Structure 1
């Protein structure tokens, strides 16, 4: 049973316990009511709704606005019925309303469903209904007992809503930590097997290819690159635990670090922060694609012998990724000429992607000095708690 299911079960238990207390008071005070049968009718409604709510809230797909609104309507109706059943004199003397503490069950339901904001909103509705009882009954204003009850309603909505939110976040982080631990153990198991087989074969191919020369040397170089990339993949530190989505439509966060480190090889050096760089998954994939396009340009225009460096920086409110190479560089106006000729690789694959994310691209190059492409995406911390 998950934490959320346990919370709803606790609310159901509270409903029954509070119903029992209300029933005792109604039985005790029914002789002094203006309409005794009205008190029994309200108790019957409370009992029926408690039984229905226990089963209705147990099903996750039913815990939406219709059920929450119905819960609030029934609770407020039973509360306001006190003005018709009870006498104004009894209310002025401090007698409780018919539902007594049963009304707090609706506040707990709203708080568990939507946090402290929902809890406070529900408390406000029932506090207004509580005060309306005294107005309709013609009593001499709200008594200290009524004021204390209203304050307790607001405290219940605030505290329970806040605690529920913290508990659900803690459960999500624990689940992510367990998932991460399982992934780490699996990675270690695979790393041991790969180290004993694949890595040794790749190292042997690289060594023998270098000794034979010719086409075998090229094969050895490719094997060396794959060995380095595989070592970086299985030897990299696990990603830090990412926070849950902050709200509807925010998307699952993704760590940009492992998306970029997969491009590490003997000719490409990738440097990333030690902690996770969390971005919405769609944005992280677009940045990865832009980096892949930049590295592809290095291979095509600078040759296989060129080296490239990828640097990821997580600043205050922005993420910056730079791709630098030691190739021949570009003369001034080269990109503009390529765009005019219809070759839009850099414009569409790099600048277009980053522009769609609300970022900027800076390209610095000169003949004989290589090329550096700096991509900056603002608002990188917007999805963090």
Structure 2
């Protein structure tokens, strides 16, 4: 199967940039409205009018600059903060000393906070601390070094809020990078598990069969079988150590398990009858019990479920002996399909699965449980020594397409 899994990335910053763009426009209108309501009290209203004209043009012309971190350059931030500081320092020139002493707002008013917040979102709390400190210094100069209580409160609010927002942005960025990396690892792990299943179901079992048959035939065939056995061990080690995390490696169908092929339906465009995929497994020593009505599943899910059943039967042939019998039972329930594979073999000795995990065998972990996990289902293995083994495979009918495949391009 070609293609890589697509990892969906999200941006935790984008909502902040959109909010900042709206804040800048609203505060520009607010500052202009404050002046309009008290313009007759200004000592030099033409200074304020000139500044507000510049502020309005700048705010509207730079909306794209605050649409994202890529557009918000250091040069823009420097000019933006300069305009805010200029408005603060021009206030004594435009307004009367009496109004300033009474606590009248500066020309840019709360628009200044937008310039500081742009620093916070772009560069984090250190940039925010730098910008807010310059704003605090400009306010002290504007108040002739004797700020009012309201001025102190406003400066502290901008300083604390901008640093807090800058810190939150840094944490959010780190979390976003961690999440993106985790999604990439998960996607890569799913692809590796799929490759490991394919190798296990095909190459490893063929090599094991060649080794066994070569030993029986002897001569040159024995040498070929020995080489096949060496390659099987090397490939198994590579798969378990390089392709699959060791913690996920578990029981594998042992050497000598026969390879069983399931014919894929010609029409893979819609649901298929699971019974048609499982029927070829029936034989002299494999019973097959099915419902009277079709058991429909999405084609990828049905094929994966049938392959898991095949892997379970391979384990029966490999571990339960040539004389063991097996039964396949299909149950079609309203919300899920249950397939049970039961045998009358000796069962699995206690601790055998843990031992197989250490040996890097993949049958149960990948060929069975891995497939069911990708389908959103489950695989339960119950084995009592002397009483056989039962594998119960459950697949939900809703959204039964394999997760890895659904996310691939």
Query: TM bucket by the smaller chain?
Result: 0.5 to 0.7
Aligned pair in 2 of structure 1 residues 160, 55: CA closer, same or farther (>3 Å)? same
Aligned pair in 2 of structure 1 residues 195, 116: CA closer, same or farther (>3 Å)? same
Aligned twin of 2:79: 70
Which consecutive residues of structure 2, in runs of 5 or more, have no partner in the other structure? 1-9, 249-409
1:101-120 to structure 2, matched below 5 A, reads 101-120=110-129
Question: Is the 1:76–1:129 Cα contact (8 Å) retained in structure 2?
Answer: yes
Distance in 2 between the 1:180 and 1:56 partners? 34
Q: Matched residue of 1:24: which SS? A: helix
**Is residue 39 from structure 1 mapped to residue 44 from structure 2 by the alignment?**
no
Q: Deviation digits for residues 94-152 of structure 1, max 9, x if unmatched? A: 111111110001111000111000001000011111111122xxxx8211111111111
**Is residue 200 from structure 1 mapped to residue 209 from structure 2 by the alignment?**
no
Deviation of 1:178 (Å): 2.6
Deviation of 1:214 (Å): 4.2
Distance in 1 between the 2:227 and 2:131 partners? 71
Deviation of 1:217 (Å): 2.6
Q: Matched residue of 1:3: which SS? A: coil
Distance in 1 between the 2:47 and 2:247 partners? 65
Per the normalisation by structure 1, the TM-score is 0.56
Q: Deviation digits for residues 12-53 of structure 1, max 9, x if unmatched? A: 111012112212211112111111122222211111111122
Q: Deviation digits for residues 276-318 of structure 1, max 9, x if unmatched? A: xxxxxxxxxxxxxxxxxxxxxxxxxxxxxxxxxxxxxxxxxxx
- CA-based RMSD: 2.4
Deviation of 1:57 (Å): 3.0
Which is greater in Rg?
Answer: 2
Deviation of 1:218 (Å): 4.1
1:189-268 to structure 2, matched below 5 A, reads 189-208=194-213, 212=218, 213-214=222-223, 216-236=225-245
1:318-357 to structure 2, matched below 5 A, reads none
Per the normalisation by structure 2, the TM-score is 0.53
Question: Is the 1:202–1:227 Cα contact (8 Å) retained in structure 2?
Answer: no
Distance in 2 between the 1:127 and 1:104 partners? 11
Which consecutive residues of structure 1, in runs of 5 or more, have no partner in the other structure? 240-385
Q: How many residues align?
A: 235
